[in-house]
Amino acid sequence: MKNINLYKGLFILLTISVVGCKKDLLESTPYGQSTSSTFWRNATDATSASNALYSLLGDENGFPHTEQTWDICSDDQWRAGDHGEDQAIEEFTFDASNSQLGYSWSLKYEVISRANAIIINVPKITMDKALQDRILGEAYFMRGLMYWQFYKIYGQVPLITEVNVIANNYNVPKGTIEEVQNRIETDLKKAGDLLLSTNDAANIGRATKGAAWGYLSKLYLYKEDFAKAIEYGNKVISGPYKLANNFGDNFEPETDNNPEMLFNIQRTQGWTEDNYCSWYYAPRPWDGWGFQEPTDDLVSEFEANDKRLGYSIARVGDMFEGGSGGTTREYTAGLNNTGHFFKKYAKWRADGSGINQDLDVPLLRSADIYLVVAEAKIRSAQSGDAEINTVRSRAGLPPVSGAKMPELIHERRVELAGENDRHADLMRWDKKQIIDIVALYKKDRGQWKRPRTFSRPKHYYFPIPQRQIDLSNGVLKQNPNYQ
């Protein structure tokens, strides 16, 4: 009896242990995701990866906290908003730990990392050559664009390319200014070769040759290589990138993808992330967050009959769509501190249901390139009148002749008001003593633009975020004058 019970017990134990010890019990599967060894199979995968290049652009740290904020340093806008760190940025009293410096650092490197992944993996896929070229072109373009944006802000940054990815070495010292410029140049040139001139309707918003050449010509201008700036600028001017008939077309949801728009951030009601860019610029009581208010100083820069003023900056008394119940409403004095906001970035739906999230965010227009070519010509002792006048006549203004830098500077300020280039332009002109930025910023422009002290050469570039210096454990060195 005893023995039988013992055997019964052991038998039960045995069967259960055999049944229980499933070999694959401890295998876990990634649901809804793949691993890098199972991705990169075909054209669909490659296209999906190329979409990822763009998906971060509209992130709050992809534009509002970065490109959009740096220009509070200029004389065009007052910071407004409620970001405590902005005061120090605007007044040049910041140090390397100012949180504004770090917001978009890793986002830009994430876009670069996605570009690197495409550059490494897509050439190995068997797929339609034209599509493959376009996708590679997009990767080179976005990498070049990210380094261009880095260059404008910090000057020198670590250069991460596919070589680093393969070696798994991300902690590298900064490149020199020349190396950064060379990287941008190489990438944008390759992009120009591989991309299409224009995209079909299903691909509006992807990079084009015009976008690559446009940024390339700006790079050459910043490098003072005027011949090349003119060469690539002319490629844009002679390409299918004509100015829109109406300046305002660039800033309306229905027409913002016209040929003049070389590159923008696509936004669509619903599926995509919310339109932070619009929210930042719109006044608080009108569904926005009320950042970056234009100054009276900028408004007074416009000539008397300049059509562009009406499309760029709101003034007290202007009427806007979007009132409740489908009415229009008046822009009154208390809506913004300075009494203005940048109309280019915020539109409201006519039925009163809020901000129109279909409005895209302009990053580069061919009008900018016309003025780049004009400047390059003027500064290489040629006439830039033709290009300047193309832009002026679109704005309903009489032509100029014999335009020199003052006229060019004026034209850039009013054509590109609020498009976040002013401070970068002023700094590079100051480097060549074309203007005096210290004196310019020391002026007292009233409560919303007090005198500020710009120190050269320290403030030509922002410091690398202190956190990144700390994390690199000594590999990454801080920018000059910020140590």
Partner 1 sequence: MKSHFRFKRFIAFVVLVAGFQMATAQNTVTGKVIDQSSGAPLPNVSVTVKGSNRGTNSDASGAYKLILQTGDAILLFSSTGYTQSEVVINSRTKVDVSLVLSNTNLSEVVVVGYGSQSKKDVTGAVSSIKGDQLQNVPVSGATQAIQGRVAGVNVVRNGGSPGSAGSIRIRGTGTINNADPLIVIDGIPAGDLNSVNPNDIASVEILKDASASAIYGTRAANGVVIVTTKRGSFEQPLKVGVNTYTGSSQARKTLDVLDASTLVSLKKERYTNDAIDMNPAWTNSSNLVQRTNWQDELFSNGTTNNIDVSLTGGSAKSSFMLSAGSYDEKGIINNSYFKRYSFRINSDHKVGKKLKIGQSLQLTRSNDNSLNTLSAQDGLIWSAVRFMPFIPVKNSDGTWGSSQSEPNQFGDINNPIYTINTIDASNSNSRLLGNLNAEYEILKGLKFKANLGVDGSHGINKNFNIIIADQTRSRSQNSLGRGFGEGYSLLSEYFLSYSKIFKEKHKIDAVAGYTSQTFDGDNFYASKREFPNEDFSQRYLDAGQSLGGIGGNRSYDALQSGFGRLNYDFDKRYLLTVTFRADGSSKFGAGNKWGYFPAFSAGWRISNEKFFNVSFINDLKLTGGWGQLGNQNVGGLQYLALVGSAGNYAFGNTTVGSTAQSRLPNYFISWETAEMTNIGLSAEMFNRSLQVNVNYFDKTTNDMLLSPPTIGTVGRLSIPDKNVGVLNNKGFEIDLSYKNQIGELSYRIGANASFIENKVIKLFDGNYIGSSIYGRQSQEISRTYEGLPLGIFYGWKTNGLYQTQAEINSDPNLTKDPRRTDGLVSPGDVRFIDINGDGQITEADRTNIGSPQAKMFYGFNTDFNYKSFDLSLFFLGSQGVKIFNADRMQGIDPTYPFNMYAEVAKRWNGANTSNTIPRMSTKRNNLNYRTSDMFVEDGSFLRLKNISFGYTLNESITKKLGIGKTRFYVSGQNVLTFTKYSGLDPELGYVDGNKQLNVDYAQYPQARTFTFGLNVSF
Residues 373-412 that bind partner 1 (CB under 8 A): none
d(CA 331, CA 328) in angstroms, rounded, equals 10
Of the listed pieces 133-141, 241-249, 282-290, 435-443, which binds partner 1 according to CB under 8 A? 282-290
Site for partner 1 in 415-434 (CB under 8 A): none
d(CA 483, CA 476) in angstroms, rounded, equals 12
Q: Which of 43, 88, 196, 405 binds partner 1 (CB under 8 A)?
A: 88
> CB-wise, 37 or 401, nearer to partner 1?
37
> CB-wise, 163 or 386, nearer to partner 1?
163
Strand partners, 452: none
> CB-wise, 82 or 330, nearer to partner 1?
82
- 39: enclosing H helix or E strand: none
Q: How far is CA 407 from CA 229, 265, 298, 384, 441, in A?
A: 19, 30, 15, 10, 20
Site for partner 1 in 222-281 (CB under 8 A): 257, 266-273
> CB-wise, 19 or 381, nearer to partner 1?
19
Shortest Å, Cβ 71 to partner 1: 20
Residues 91, 96, 98, 101: what is their CA dihedral angle, to the nearest 10 degrees? 90
d(CA 76, CA 94) in angstroms, rounded, equals 20
Tally Cβ neighbours within 10 Å of residue 266: 16
> CB-wise, 53 or 299, nearer to partner 1?
53
> CB-wise, 7 or 393, nearer to partner 1?
7
Site for partner 1 in 141-200 (CB under 8 A): 158, 160, 170-172, 199
Q: Which of 73, 96, 314, 374 binds partner 1 (CB under 8 A)?
A: 96
28 binds partner 1 (CB under 8 A): yes
Q: Which of 206, 308, 377, 422 binds partner 1 (CB under 8 A)?
A: 206
d(CA 369, CA 376) in angstroms, rounded, equals 10
- β-strand 319-321 against 291-294: which pairing, if any? unpaired
Q: Which of 126, 238, 300, 324 binds partner 1 (CB under 8 A)?
A: 324
Of the listed pieces 3-11, 124-132, 182-190, 211-219, which binds partner 1 according to CB under 8 A? 3-11
Residue 336 structure tokens: 């913004």
Strand partners, 424: none
Shortest Å, Cβ 420 to partner 1: 21
Site for partner 1 in 49-68 (CB under 8 A): 49-58
36 binds partner 1 (CB under 8 A): yes
Strand partners, 293: 78
Q: How many CA atoms lie within 13 A of 454 on its CB side?
A: 24
13 binds partner 1 (CB under 8 A): yes
Q: Which of 73, 111, 119, 221 binds partner 1 (CB under 8 A)?
A: 111
Q: Which of 123, 240, 285, 326 binds partner 1 (CB under 8 A)?
A: 285
350 binds partner 1 (CB under 8 A): no
DSSP codes, 158-200? B---HHHHHHT----PBPPHHHHHHHHHHHHHHHHHHS-SS--
468 binds partner 1 (CB under 8 A): yes
Shortest Å, Cβ 286 to partner 1: 8
Residue 362 structure tokens: 């302009």
Q: Which of 41, 42, 106, 123 binds partner 1 (CB under 8 A)?
A: 106
130 binds partner 1 (CB under 8 A): no
114 binds partner 1 (CB under 8 A): yes
d(CA 372, CA 209) in angstroms, rounded, equals 17
Count of residues that interact with partner 1, criterion CB under 8 A: 103
Is residue 350 within 8 Å of 261, Cβ to Cβ? no
22-50 b/e (C-beta count within 10 Å ≥ 16 → b): eeeeeeeeeeeeeeeeeebeeeebbbebb
> CB-wise, 114 or 340, nearer to partner 1?
114
Backbone angles phi, psi at 360, to 5 degrees: -80, 165
Shortest Å, Cβ 249 to partner 1: 16
Shortest Å, Cβ 168 to partner 1: 9
